[in-house]
Amino acid sequence: MEERLNYAKAFPEGIHAMQVMERAIHASGLEGPLLDLVKIRASQMNGCAFCIDMHTKDARAAGETEQRIYALSAWREGPFFTPRERAALAWTEALTNIQQGHAPDAVFEEARREFTEAELVRLTLAVTQINSWNRIAIGFRAEPGKYQPKSAAAD
């Protein structure tokens, strides 16, 4: 599949704004591994090969296990995720697949048990952000496979 256009070059101010939001989410206090799982799961649901490639590489570089990455699409059936991660994944799925149930009360209540109000807003912004990135990458056919994570020494 060939990339349709370079969206960052076509509208750098818009992509810059997205990157500012990304930095705010990263600095929000939510756990990095949890954010990685959310990004991977939403990207799986949306079928975004570019973002799946990017975020699985980032997760591995940050120390995430192959077992948890491989099991993520079946997270309900495996014992590898904490209650907080499970609540985040359920909320991610509810918001990503909004046409199926409009974020059910039961899923919201589960998330509220695991997250403070401020954390839940941060998590919600993280979910909406990755869904936006997925739509951009899918729409313009960003090419998967070339992304390489920053080394830990570069951070």
Instruction: Tell me the H-state helices in 72-149.
Output: 83-96, 105-114, 117-139
CATH number for region 26-146? 1.20.1290.10
Which of the four pLDDT bands, split at 50, 70 and 90, describes residue 154?
very low
* 15-73: pLDDT as tens digits: 999 999 999 999 999 999 999 999 999 999 999 999 999 999 999 999 999 999 999 99
Which of the four pLDDT bands, split at 50, 70 and 90, describes residue 153?
very low
pTM of the model: 0.94
Q: Is the pLDDT of residue 155 over 50?
A: no
* Domain ranges within the chain, ordered by starting residue: 26-146
* 122-133: pLDDT as tens digits: 999 999 999 999
